[in-house]
Structure 1
Amino acid sequence: MEDPWQKAYDFAVAVARKAGAEIRKAGESEIRVMTKRSTVDLVTKTDERVEKIIIGSLKEEFGEGTHCFIGEESVAKGEPCILTDKPTWIIDPVDGTTNFVHGFPFVAVSIAFAVNKELEFGVVYSCLEDKMYKARKGKGAFCDDEPIQVSDVKDINKSIIISEHGTDRSPEKVTKIFSTMQKMLCIPVHGLRGSGTAATNMCLVATGAVEAFFEIGIHCWDIAAGAVIVREAGGILLDVDGGPFDLMSRRMVSANNETIAKRIIKEIEIFPVVRDDAPIEKK
């Protein structure tokens, strides 16, 4: 029986590489001459251009109207963020936009594919590093075609935990974020890290470089591809309250094993966020 999604998977890898080349080109040729005031415009234009490249290429390959799309830039413009049973691409064209502006070397293209609300595969191209992470459900996880696997550390005191501050700078949320980090450090863990991109963070869990990544406030396009990669590398995904992972909840713990995940969950100070699939309020 023919594999129904192998072609889509292979094409996603090719498109991610093409998109990454476009990001590198924008960074090398444009960002050095940008003023601080105009870097926001560059990021917006690059995000939009790369998303158009990805979605345009997918529509051309698979036919207009056959697949659905959830893209960061499309949602920002008012498109609904609803995952249905239809074949759906979940796309973050430039994950790590602040890194992109500063030339910090972690910027990723994230492309995931879901059918019947189940993630089938994920591709994360860390384009400044030129590392291609990818995984298909039930077929393992890879970095540049080499198999990857989560670490076997079970002692929280020997772990490195990765997280991010997020973009919401409201005092209440910042207080909870740093209180959580303080608790982690006092467990104590070996260290806390942050690459500035959720997709890359999840790949670092998958390769065993860190034991866990958690964040509240991320979006489905940040983590969909990484979720497949972590699972296929032998890792685990949970909600920050210990319940099942929910792609649309904007909160997640990914870890090498349940022991590490549940120990981290004990220290997380949860704060409310609006779900990605929440109804859009009409103005």
Structure 2
Amino acid sequence: METWDECFHAAVAVARKAGEEIKVAFSSEKRIQTKSISTDLVTETDKKVENMIISTLKEKFPSHSFIGEESAAAGEKVELSDNPTWIIDPVDGTTNFVHGFPFVAVSIGLSVQKEVVVGVVYNAILDQMFTGQLGKGAFMNGKPIHVSGQEDLSQALFIAEFGYRRDKQEMDMVFSNLESFLNERNSAHGCRLLGSAALAMCQVAIGGGDMFYHFGTHVWDVAAGALIIREAGGVVWDTTGGPFDMMSRRVLCASSEKLARTIAEGLTQMELPRD
């Protein structure tokens, strides 16, 4: 089997470099723009960091393909082929970044024949480097990490997201799903909303949360995190309980199959256009 060590080390190095830029910008005044709606934010840092990551990796691996959040926002087609493809979110948690909330990360995944083989998620603000390589385990700052193994919803802490859309039908569904796991008859210990899918997934990978689900993710939010969770012994599925498809814009992660099944059965599903 071909090893992707060179790609892994390149991803870690460029994530650190990106993290330094994010860290400096985090405590500076930010110029903010919006994308589709007023709650979908983008900054100059998002664009600058993505350009730096892609140009650095393209120089090292000229035959590889690239998918980047800001490139997609600028109109580039999102296409996942069998060719080695870098999947990049330069600043996952842009709203957090804008407000100075320290859950902000660069997320870099490498997919080969549509399977992610390298995943790096780096929160430079808290200096937490989450890494995974297919078949080689998952790590935070070089130390092995593992999911909690929790199977019981009543003993679990779950992580969810509101997303940035605010139309009533979608928000009703978000609240209905939260209420499925937080009610008098059927309640988890609690719920956290971190504002970064990549870091939410990494929290499940280190056992800080026991499950995470979200409707409305994009491939750049979940590619690296999904590998890291699986390498940490966790489960990554579609929200229906079927196989995970990183282009489907839906994800369900858990510390055990039993807990994942409980969550899948309790969710009201949302259909979304694919990436």
For Structure 1 versus Structure 2, the TM-score category normalised by the shorter chain is over 0.9
Q: Distance in 1 between matches of 2:180 and 2:60?
A: 49
Query: What stretches of structure 1 move > 2 A for 4+ residues in a row?
Result: 38-44
Q: Does 2:68 correspond to 1:71?
A: yes
Deviation at 1:121, TM superposition (A): 1.1
Which amino acid is the alignment partner of residue 33 of structure 2? Answer: V
Aligned residue for 1:167, secondary structure, equals: coil
Q: Does 2:132 correspond to 1:124?
A: no
Asked if the contact 2:67–2:78 (Cα under 8 Å) also holds between the matched residues in 1, the reply is yes
RMSD: 1.3
Deviation at 1:91, TM superposition (A): 0.3
What TM-score do the two structures reach when normalised by structure 2?
0.94
Deviation at 1:18, TM superposition (A): 0.5
Q: Distance in 2 between matches of 1:161 and 1:224?
A: 20
What TM-score do the two structures reach when normalised by structure 1?
0.92
Q: Distance in 1 between matches of 2:60 and 2:84?
A: 14
Deviates more, 1:42-51 or 1:243-252: 42-51
Q: Distance in 2 between matches of 1:179 and 1:62?
A: 45
Q: Distance in 2 between matches of 1:69 and 1:44?
A: 21
Aligned residue for 2:33, secondary structure, equals: helix
Q: Distance in 1 between matches of 2:179 and 2:274?
A: 26
- Map of 1:149-168 to 2, 5 A cutoff? 149-168=146-165
Deviation at 1:45, TM superposition (A): 1.3
What is the aligned partner in structure 2 of residue 62 from structure 1?
A: 61
Q: Distance in 1 between matches of 2:158 and 2:229?
A: 15
Q: Distance in 2 between matches of 1:221 and 1:174?
A: 23
Q: Distance in 1 between matches of 2:3 and 2:234?
A: 26
Which amino acid is the alignment partner of residue 183 of structure 1? Answer: S
Deviation at 1:29, TM superposition (A): 2.7
Q: Distance in 1 between matches of 2:164 and 2:42?
A: 15
Deviation at 1:44, TM superposition (A): 2.8
What is the aligned partner in structure 1 of residue 222 from structure 2?
A: 223
- Map of 1:68-217 to 2, 5 A cutoff? 68-186=65-183, 187-217=186-216
- Superposed CA offset, 1:178-232 (max 9, x none): 0110111121100011111000000000001111000000101001000000000
- Superposed CA offset, 1:116-152 (max 9, x none): 1111010000121110000000000000000000002
Q: Distance in 2 between matches of 1:43 and 1:270?
A: 28
Which amino acid is the alignment partner of residue 251 of structure 2? Answer: M
| Gapped regions of structure 2 (runs ≥ 5) | 35-40
Q: Distance in 1 between matches of 2:249 and 2:104?
A: 20
